[in-house]
Structure 1
Amino acid sequence: MTTAEYAVGTLAACAFAAVLLAVVRSGGVKSALASVITAALGVAG
């Protein structure tokens, strides 16, 4: 790939990472992940 293609690919990867980070940090997803982890570890809560 040329340098321009690397730049576009890098920007796309960063944008995708930012979207994933925003989704994971949302309240609903955070509580759902916490409940799944708690259930998997068998921690009483």
Structure 2
Amino acid sequence: RPAYIGERVVTPRTPADPTADSDKVVWSQTVSLLLGALCEKSWDTEKV
């Protein structure tokens, strides 16, 4: 199966730069939260 972006963030090849890795984790979490909110909104509109 293909490698997801989340897996790449969890296992970075360059741990020498923790700040960049943490930024990637925060960014991925923010994107996932935004996508989740959009999905929830779409489901709510479909229910109504």
The normalised TM-score by structure 1 is 0.58
Matches within 5 A, 1:10-21: 10-21=26-37
- Runs of 5+ consecutive residues of structure 2 not aligned to the other structure: 1-14
Work out the number of aligned pairs and report it.
Answer: 30
In terms of fraction of residues, the more helix-rich structure is 1
Question: What is the CA–CA distance in structure 1 between the aligned matches of 2:36 and 2:20, rounded to whole Å?
Answer: 24
| Matching residue of 2:38 | 22
* Percent identity of equivalent pairs: 10
4+ long deviations beyond 6 Å = none
Counterpart CA distance in 1 for 2:35 and 2:19 is: 24
Q: State the superposition RMSD in angstroms.
A: 1.8
One-letter code of the match for 1:19? L
Counterpart for residue 41 of structure 1: none
